[in-house]
Structure 1
Amino acid sequence: MTSYDVSAVRQLERLARYQGRRTAILYEGRALDYSELRDLVARLGAGLRADGVGPGDRIAYAGLNSLAFLVGYLATAWVGAAYVPLNFRLAGPELRDILLDARPDVLLAEPAQAAIIDPLLEPLDIRRLYLIDDDPSAYADATLSSVWESYSEFVAAHDPSVPALSRTEEDLALVLYTSGTTGRAKGVTLTHGNLWWNWVNVDSVVDTRVGDVSLAIAPLFHIGGLNAVTLRTLTRGGTVIVRRTFDPAQALRDLVEHRVNSMFVVPAMLAAIRREPGFAEADLSELRSTIAAGAPVPPALIESYAAKGVSLQQAWGLTETAPFSTYLEPAMTLEKLGSCGIPMPYTEVKVVDPATLTDVDEGSGELWVRGPNVSRGYWNNPEATADAFTPDGWFRTGDLGYRDADGYFFIVDRLKDMIISGGENIYPAEIEKILSAHAQIEDVAVVGVPDEKWGEAVCAVVKLAGGTLTLDELRDYAARSVARYKLPTRLIVRDEVRRNGAGKLDKPAIRAEVNELLREQGTSVETASFTETIRLPPRRS
């Protein structure tokens, strides 16, 4: 049986040949058509191949959303390697651990990220380090060691006529790192087939069209930002507007001025755009496909966009499912408020009792997913792979949910204690490990509490060994080791941190107690001061 090339590069070459003058990317005032994009990708690909990079190798990227990010991905596919985009919010120790696990042959980095990684290079053994030096938007005043080479000179020095390698469904395309509940990051492996089948799923149910204008404001290092609509737009001859980071005022201007048709967002982004002056008057009539995922979309937010003629389309999935497993079609947005939809056409979803591992027809259970869009496992982590993926292809998501009588799925909780803040996954065990090393902290639990802006906020519940501790002091301490978006924004001081009979943190009880006591104190967790330490009385017996 013949294996066909399903990579984004195949479509890039086709578009460059037949529709080369069509605009592919708009980035920081620069417009690239498909011929120009193909030329950049081919030059970088030719350089990488001349340097011996190919199948079995990995190329990492450290930086914000940019033209170089997308060129890097496409050039990596061009030579048959796997792309490892790094979370630009991570602290140095976190980046070091991921790079030690991924062992990339090449690293492309913007100056700010290169400055973080530079002191950590000795044990990493990365053969080639290229500094992105042709992007004024990425400029940073960084002092680096002499091992860094010029990205722009490397690209310019090579011939774009070198052909791309063919990539089939089984070939590895991406390794995307997502934090584990034990604190160790896991590298999700995604093949070109996984990505391609997500495109097929999206095309089957979402109103995306050839020539669409898409807005890329979610981080591209996340599978949602990269593969929900960005890569699909580029492979269908559309235009992608790339913004380095999310700015709600800029996003609203882009939606109106560029007549944007599609975008992937998390609910916090939609809420921020809605709060912008001029939202009520903004003409969003061209916005057909707004896919929201990463957290439940509040009904009030759905209704406010519906009043402007924009149907927010909720989806559910994970990095391991590339990303979508279910989708709520626009016609059912209001009728099925709170639902994440029905299974994608080429994806199976079922509800399983997590204790007995038997299928659940009624009631809640763990959601399992199977399909050609589903990852085959984790990079260099057979134990985690065996825990999450069954021999017959099901992925155990760790999310609790149920299916209603009409077949629509609803997410009700998480088996694990993950916090989702502004679409970012935050794992309490990682934060607890850092905070437990603080000299003044005797015991600690980290839980999520409701937050008006971000959906959830990180709350630290601590027992002090002595003295006092402010939230600012706690955040300053933790910021040495973890990204700032993971830092607690609430600090609760207790006489004891609740544990169960096995000595484990009793997270459900801690969450319930925190919310109850805050209500009794008359302090809203949504409006608690960012720098206020809330000291609660001893727990009642």
Structure 2
Amino acid sequence: MHEQGIGAWLAKRRLKSPDKVALVHDDRSTVTYRQFADGADRVAALLSRLGVGKGDAVAYLGENSPDFLQVMFGAARLGAVFVPVNTRLAPPEVAHVLTDCGARVLIHDVEFAQRVADAVDAGPSPQVVVTGAGTADRPGLTRLLTTTAGDDTAAAEVGMDDPAAIIYTSGTTGRAKGAVLTHGNLTWVALNCVVDYDVVSTDVALMISPLFHVASLGMGALPVILKGATLVLEKGFEPGRALAQIERHGVTMLSGVPTTYQLMADHPNWATTDLSTLSKLTCGGSAVPTRILNAYEKRGLSFSQGYGMTEASPGATSLPPAMTRAKQGSVGLPHFFTSVRIADEHGAPIADDGIGEIQICGPNVFPGYHLLPEATAEAFTADGWFRSGDLGYLDADGYLHIAGRLKDMIISGGENIYPAEIEVLLGEIDGVTGVAVIGVPDAQWGEVPWAILTVREDAAVDVASVRRFLDGRVARYKLPKNVVIVDELPRTASGKVRKAELRDRFGGS
């Protein structure tokens, strides 16, 4: 069997467009597709030398860089499973990811050395390699690769159903679940983007969002690489720098969340930056507010908006720019190779405009959660559709509209926050007798988490003490922005907190 997975992409790109610039980083440093493929081959040989084989997990904790992508494609050549780790996770969260996936190797940027040390002390024991040169006693990835020759024999036989990546997504039970994405899932989501966003080989895509997010990886980097276009890699987002990079590199494609677009439009250089090359803007995480649409339309720009989740690799729908105003409030039509339906509480399909659970089917939908057969079974209907847990409806034209969430997920600046994870920890604070975490609208971040607590009369609990308690236990974007002490939490007869009442009460604050 020949290699079918994404690990074969770079070898084919090396043949088809060897001298085309694939990656731009550190402002002006470039990597051609030949260099990109050669680097991935050396990574594959190095990982093989470290004992990595088909099915083994290779974790990566680092910012956007050529190393990130070369490790991913190098691992894919071996049939190994790439596990990108969110750089904002606290050491206990990193430890959970490494333990759960059974990482054989962890590659990380040097600035995360202490976090890695703290995480590894908690139990997992992968082989650890730092990016960069390292030291003579402990050579880093760069030095190791200079002494490693790419070896075509390292490539494994990989099929489309083989796992390519595990992406960890916060769960309603409070522990992150690993969504297993196959080579087929990642191939088909890239094809969906090529079709629906008209990705072409002359595109230049600015990556201002971290590649450890599945949207940036699956719908940003992969379709660009598939088409042989160019990625401009940014280690972080700063609005003025992003504007400068658009002008400097003639960027045509940009993806982000409403907050990033708002910060760019608010920057002093917004009006004077040459944005004439921009033609493809995509926005996810939440609906684009009218004020942002207005600001970009004044510059002759419009958005593709969409809806998805990690389990769909992540794209489910897209709203084309031409329909941004006509279908404002909608998240668009199903992607070309993806289907969406609405079902009632019994699983029966609902007709146009009827609100029910959004369910998704297609070759981009994952096969299940890592080592969680019960959670996997609960995530799918009997006929194989993924149950999103979100509520919505399809209008008469087939456009999807989000009506609410069955789950209590909070989306803050494009980051998913599940209250249960925070609530479990808040319940450990001395004096706290009842906990509910809700999302409250925020002009900058879309939503921010608030903690609604009941406490003992003698307890000294406030927002500062709560944030101090949680800091280091969860990523900082999960820290409650406000703490409200109430006499009692509204509950159902079975004792569950009625969060809808809390959102109604505090949502306009």
- The verdict on a shared fold, with TM-score over 0.5 as the criterion, is yes
Letter in 1 for 2:454: K
Which residue of structure 2 lines up, in the alignment, with residue 510 of structure 1? 502
**Contact 1:229–1:262 under 8 Å retained in 2:** no
- Of 6, 11, 31 in structure 2, the residue corresponding to residue 13 of structure 1 is 11
- Whether the 8 Å contact between 1:298 and 1:338 is mirrored in structure 2 is no
Counterpart contact for 1:189–1:379, Cα < 8 Å? yes
User: What is residue 469 of structure 1 aligned with on the other side?
Assistant: 461
Within a 5 Å distance, the mapping from 1:38-49 to structure 2 comes to: 38-49=37-48
State the SS of the aligned residue for 1:325: strand
User: For 2:232, which of 233, 236, 241 is the aligned residue?
Assistant: 241
| Cα distance in 2 between the residues matched to 1:380 and 1:61 | 20
How far apart are residue 129 of structure 1 and its match?
Answer: 1.1
Give unmatched runs, 5+ long, in structure 1.
136-143, 520-524, 526-541
What residue in structure 1 maps to residue 331 of structure 2?
340
The residue type paired with residue 149 of structure 2 is: D
| 1:176-255 equivalent positions in 2, closer than 5 A | 176-255=167-246
Shift, 1:167, TM fit: 3.0
1:56 equivalent in alignment to 2:48? no
Q: Return the match for 1:258 from 243, 249, 256.
A: 249
Deviations 1:471-512 (A, max 9, x none): 122111111311100000112121112222111111001111
Distance 1:498 1:124 in 2: 40
**Amino acid paired to 1:55:** K
Deviations 1:351-378 (A, max 9, x none): 011x221111132111000001100000
> Is the partner of 2:103 in helix, strand or coil?
coil
Q: What SS class does the counterpart of residue 269 from structure 2 fall into?
A: coil
AA partner of residue 15 (structure 1) = R
Describe the SS at the equivalent of 2:452.
strand
Answer whether contact 1:216 1:240 (CA < 8 A) is retained: yes
Deviates more, 1:479-488 or 1:197-206: 197-206
1:165-176 correspondence runs (5 A): 165-176=156-167
2:493 is matched with 501
**Counterpart residue type for residue 514 of structure 1:** F
TM superposition shift of 1:11: 2.6
Aligned to 1:535: none
1:55-454 matches, within 5 Å, as 55-122=54-121, 124-134=123-133, 150-163=140-153, 164-353=155-344, 355-361=345-351, 362-454=353-445
Structure 2 residue runs of 5 or longer lacking an equivalent are none
Please, what TM-score do these two structures have when normalized by structure 1?
0.90
Which deviates more, 228-237 or 11-20? 11-20
SS for the counterpart of 2:188 is helix
Size of the aligned set, in residue pairs, is 504
- Residue identity in the other structure for 1:61: Y
1:103–1:124 Cα contact (<8 Å) kept: no
Per-residue CA deviation, residues 61-102 of structure 1 (Å, 9 max, x unaligned), is 012222211111011112110100011101111111111111
Are 1:11 and 1:236, in contact at CA under 8 Å, matched by a contact in 2?
Answer: no
* Corresponding residue number in structure 1 for 2:470: 478
| TM-score, normalised with respect to structure 2 | 0.95
1:83 match: secondary structure: strand
State the Cα deviation string for residues 401-420 of structure 1 (Å, max 9, x = none): 11111111111211011100
- What is the alpha-carbon distance in structure 2 between the residues aligned to residue 213 and residue 116 of structure 1? 34
Q: Within 2, Cα distance between the matches of 1:384 and 1:149?
A: 41
* 2:260 aligned counterpart, secondary structure: helix
1:369-407 CA distance string (max 9 Å, x none): 000110000001111101102343210001111111111
State whether residues 430 and 459 of structure 2, in contact with CA within 8 Å, keep that contact through their aligned partners in structure 1.
no
Asked whether the equivalents of residues 62 and 114 of structure 1 are also in contact (C-alpha less than 8 Å), the reply is no
Deviations 1:196-222 (A, max 9, x none): 111221122212111210011111111
Identical amino acids, percent of aligned pairs: 37
Instruction: Work out whether residues 5 and 169 of structure 1, in 8 Å CA contact, stay in contact via their aligned partners in 2.
Output: no
Q: Distance in 2 between matches of 1:252 and 1:405?
A: 39
Q: CA deviation at 1:4?
A: 6.1
Task: Classify the secondary structure of the residue corresponding to 1:196.
Answer: helix
AA partner of residue 128 (structure 2): L
Structure 1 SS opposite 2:88:
coil
Cα distance in 2 for residues equivalent to 1:424 and 1:340: 18
Q: What is the aligned-residue RMSD (CA, Å)?
A: 1.8
Partners of 1:194 and 1:375 within 8 A in 2 = yes
Residue 52 of structure 1 and its aligned partner are, at CA, apart by 2.8
Query: Quick check: 1:299–1:338 contact (8 Å CA) kept in 2?
Result: no
Contact 2:172 2:407 in 1 (8 A): yes
